[in-house]
Chains A and B, each alone.
Chain A
Amino acid sequence: MILKDGTASMGRRIWLLLLLRACARAGLRPVSKLRLHRLIFLSNCLAPVYGETPLDEKVIKYKWGPYYPEAQWDIDRMAIQGLVALTDVEVSKDKRNGWWLHANYELLAKGRELCEEVIEVMLLEKVFEFLSELAHGYATLDDAVLDNVALKDATYNAPAVAEWAPIDFSEIKNNYSALTASAFGDLLPIQVSPNAREQVQLYLRYLARVAKKNFVNN
């Protein structure tokens, strides 16, 4: 069990490091805690578009949006280990949602070096390519709706799912995000059938449009 937990944790830490590296390259730096968790979620549900296995295929519908306690521990550990910079720690509390500990994260030089190493040694080029495309697509969206995009995701925002209810997308038929992203191909002529990168980009733009619509209506 220890080994298994350890392995899971290492896998998650590598995924997080690569995600932060991808964010930095897309100009998203530092990344707030809230945004980081939402990006982790998007990476989980869109991974199948690239044929990758996500870190986690279950998430709990939560008032702060998708949130992964284990990933939070890992990112904080890496901050102490000098791989990630932890800055702007602030405490806030609001009536509806209670306490929130804000922090920003950014990859440090040691973390960057580790990323290069694991990509090469562990053959993670494809994972990194996926995370880079995701971060890149995300970074091009309108700032005003950037943090709401994940909340409008087809899986997370499936109708009538109550807070604290589990959302399980381990079976592809329940991963509405990946299914929607793939469905863009059905709308276009066969000659311009979108590849995985384009599917993710189109999907993110679609989410941004939905988020914007809500933003304007509110």
Chain B
Amino acid sequence: MVAPQIPLIRFPAFKSFQVDNYQLFPGKNGEGISHEFEPGVTVIAGVNGLGKTTLLNLMFRMLVGPRDPKKSGMLQFGARAHELVSWKNSIFFTSRVGDGAANATMSAVIAFGNEEIRIKRNISNLEIIELWRAGKELDPNEKQYTAAVLDASGIADDYDFDFVVRQLVFFLEERIPIVWSEQNQAELFRVLLCESKVAAELSGLFDEIKDIDSQYRNLRWHLNKRKDELAQYHGSSAEPATLDELKAKIQAQESLAAKATDYEKEIDRVKRKRSKMQIDIQQQKLELEEKIRAHQGFQQVYLSSRFPELPDVARYVFSNLLADSGCLVCGNRKTDTAIRFRRLLDQGNCPVCESPPEEQETRPTRGRANAQEVKKSAQEIQAQKRDLASLESELGKLEAGLLELYGTQSRTQSSFFQLTTDVNLLRAKLTPGEGAAEVESYITSMEKELNNYEAQLAEKRRKYEKQLKVLRRQAEQYASRIKRHFESYAGSFLAEKCTISFTNFNSFVGQEGPSFEYPCFQVLMTSAVSPKRPTVRMKVTDVSESQKELIDLAFRMALISTIATRGQGAMLVLETPEASLDSIFVIEAGKLLRKFAESTQGCHNRLIASSNLTNEKMIPALLGLVPDGTPKTKPAEVRRRVINLLKLATPNAAYVKNKKKYDKMLESATDGALD
């Protein structure tokens, strides 16, 4: 088998960024903002209302221009086409200033690995006014820019480039999740892991299938309407009673068909729930087994010293009883002899005949496993058994419900088939009326068209599945590396053990037809109630707010680190990372971000984060000014790594009122390194 080609994606990274004549950022002496970004962390420091978000949005729009994905519901992977349309909120930058940003411009040097693109845009309408690539001037327009960017980044098309910038590179206030959205993961894998031709084919086929599926369903609806119409024509020459009966039966038939679909969906949902529960039970059983084994371990050691001549089988039986694992002799798994056995052994009595030590032939040796430890593990076993029992009871109920659903579904189907027969018989009784032939011919042509759509769909789906196989294979190839990077990042800031596991999920393209299998990762993490066994966290609500964001951040970094391993470097832009973090996590998050930015594999990553002065720890943590075992950043370097909006932005009322306080806060956050 030929190994799939490994794509070479180069992420965009700002080397410099400049804003001129924009009233929100007059800068010192009206020079605007001009910043050279060094590899590592850069902080945009400010307070509310000074323009942190606006500056980040300028950077974002510099890269993607005045366009947005067709459907703005970015979380609805299945609901949008891979297409960009004009930016709807085009007054975003102009409405923030008094002069409508008439002469405002922004310029940047954007690196893609070793390649550079220099670009200047009007801020008011984002029009490109200068464009250079590798020292050569290009026609300043969006088309040339897109072509240059796609060529330099190795990304398939403009939609995909936009997706990478929007979803992966920029982590703005909306915090669009990646690891918590299987669909977003799959989309990113397509863009980042597949050769550009395959990536483009997958998105193209996806859109085509959705489109044809929609037309197909539309046509089918019209066809059914026409069929009803035909019944009317036929009915014109029939007995009214027959016609009424036919109408009633057709209605009942439609309602049953809808019910059957509902039952099918419900059965599918319950089956998925059952499968998850079965896995939970399997995991819990394994965990229980582990606890029992530890308990048996303690007991076996004791039993061996206490009754050295006891045969293996007997010892095995006793240790099972002691560990509450059940009676191997009679097969009862819910015995309650453990307490009695433990008491007897504690007193040195024989566990079988209860004889006291002085009456036994073999005098017992003293000493046994640590009583506290044994007691604790016995309690843990009891607790786990209770959990397991309640889970098993839940599963039992679920299975009973499923059985009932199957019964109802089967009865519905029988009724449906009976009605279909009745309808056909009644229809056969009708004679065609005037105009029926025309409708019939129309129906025939529509049916032909419908068959044509079906054939097209089958062909497109076949091709899509073929390319999906490539995507799955590529994801498999990279999965271990992504997991390793993730564990390294997550391990450095989460107290709980957190990992990701490679798996897949099924999703439909369009509303009907077969589901397709996409690669994805699921998060597993330990918790207070399950400190040893990491449990699967499927949804974002399965973790705390802080954990949610940090885990997603670690996943982004893992993806970027996996792709950008050939010394190309990458950029990550974060809006106020402290916003949803517990203060205890702030220093850890700072460490994590620095770890990414200071990645030593020749990657020279750049991390740009805006931060609010009101959280006193975030800026020092990002700049390496808190004691974390690494050398403190020198003042000159701190100056190069801060964009100070207190000095560069137009002061707002809050800043004017609290100038001294805010200046002092910044001074304290930067160790007095700024001018």
Contact = CB atoms under 8 A, between A and B. Distances in A.
A58 interface: yes
B337 to A, nearest CB: 15
A88 B304 CA distance: 13
A132 to B, nearest CB: 28
A204 B278 CA distance: 29
B612 interface: no
B296 A86 contact: no
Nearest to A79: B313
Contacts of A173: 517
Interface string A62-100: 100001011011001101100000111101010000111
Contacts of A93: 297
Given A79-B313, A88-B312, A164 B502 contact: no
Given A103-B316, A166-B283, A159 B296 contact: no
Interface in B510-537: 517, 521-522, 524, 533-536
Contacts of A87: 312
A124 to B, nearest CB: 23
Given A101-B293, A162-B499, A165-B536, A79 B286 contact: no
Contacts of B500: 160, 162
Contacts of A159: 476-477, 479-480, 502
B283 A89 contact: no
A177 to B, nearest CB: 15
B294 interface: yes
B328 interface: yes
Contact of B328 (A62, A80, A91, A166): A80
Interface in A128-169: 158-166, 168
B320 A89 contact: no
Given A58-B278, A168-B275, A89 B522 contact: no
B329 interface: yes
B288 interface: yes
Given A70-B285, A101-B296, A161 B501 contact: yes
A99 B317 contact: no
Nearest to B286: A60
Contact of B279 (A99, A163, A166): A166
Interface in A201-217: none
A72 B289 contact: yes
Interface in B306-330: 312-313, 315-317, 320, 325-326, 328-329
A69 B184 CA distance: 37
Interface in B274-294: 275, 278-279, 282-283, 285-286, 288-290, 293-294
A60 B320 contact: no
A88 B301 CA distance: 14
B534 A89 contact: no
B286 A69 contact: yes
**Chain B at the A interface: mostly helix, strand, loop or mixed?**
helix
B503 interface: yes
Of residues B300, B328, B483, B535, which shows the largest number of chain A Cβ atoms within 10 Å of its Cβ? B328
Contacts of B285: 69-70
Given A58-B278, A86-B312, A160 B482 contact: yes
Nearest to B317: A80
B326 A73 contact: yes
A3 interface: no
A164 B316 contact: no
Interface in B603-622: none
15 contacts: A1-B396, A60-B279, A61-B501, A73-B326, A77-B328, A86-B313, A98-B293, A99-B296, A100-B293, A101-B293, A101-B296, A101-B300, A158-B502, A164-B533, A166-B283
A174 B524 CA distance: 21
A177 B378 CA distance: 39
Nearest to A92: B297
Given A77-B331, A91-B301, A69 B316 contact: no
A98 B283 contact: no
A164 B283 contact: yes
B333 interface: yes
Taking residues whose C-beta sits less than 8 angstroms from the other chain, chain A's interface range is 35 or more
A77 B313 CA distance: 10
Nearest to B530: A164
Contacts of B331: 77
Contacts of B535: 164
Of residues B286, B304, B320, B536, which shows the largest number of chain A Cβ atoms within 10 Å of its Cβ? B286
Contacts of B317: 80
Contact of B483 (A61, A162, A168): A162
Contact of B524 (A58, A80, A162): A162
Nearest to B526: A164
A87 B313 CA distance: 8
A93 B579 CA distance: 46
A61 B501 CA distance: 10
Contact of A60 (B283, B304, B326): B283
Contacts of B479: 159-160
Interface in B8-63: none
B282 A62 contact: no
A110 to B, nearest CB: 14
Given A73-B333, A165-B522, A160 B480 contact: yes
B415 to A, nearest CB: 29
A89 B316 CA distance: 8
Contacts of B326: 73
A62 B278 contact: no
A77 B332 CA distance: 10
A91 B329 CA distance: 21
A58 B396 contact: no
Nearest to B280: A166
Nearest to A158: B502
Q: Which 4 A-B pairs have the closest CB atoms?
A: A160-B479, A165-B501, A160-B502, A162-B501
A114 B328 CA distance: 20
A133 B480 CA distance: 33
A79 B524 CA distance: 37
Nearest to B312: A89
B290 A98 contact: yes
A87 B301 CA distance: 16
Given A69-B285, A159-B477, A173-B517, 16 more contacts: A61-B501, A70-B285, A76-B320, A76-B328, A79-B328, A101-B297, A101-B300, A158-B502, A160-B483, A160-B500, A160-B521, A161-B502, A162-B500, A164-B534, A165-B536, A166-B283
A1 B477 CA distance: 43
B540 to A, nearest CB: 19
A160 to B, nearest CB: 3
Contacts of B522: 165
Contacts of B477: 159
A87 B333 CA distance: 22
Contact of A69 (B289, B396, B483): B289
A165 B537 CA distance: 11
Contacts of B315: 89
Nearest to A165: B501
Of residues B312, B325, B477, B502, which shows the largest number of chain A Cβ atoms within 10 Å of its Cβ? B312
Given A91-B300, A93-B297, A100-B293, A76 B501 contact: no
B286 A67 contact: yes
A99 B288 contact: no
B294 A98 contact: yes
B471 to A, nearest CB: 14
A1 B658 CA distance: 71
Interface in A187-207: none
Contacts of B301: 91
A76 B285 CA distance: 16
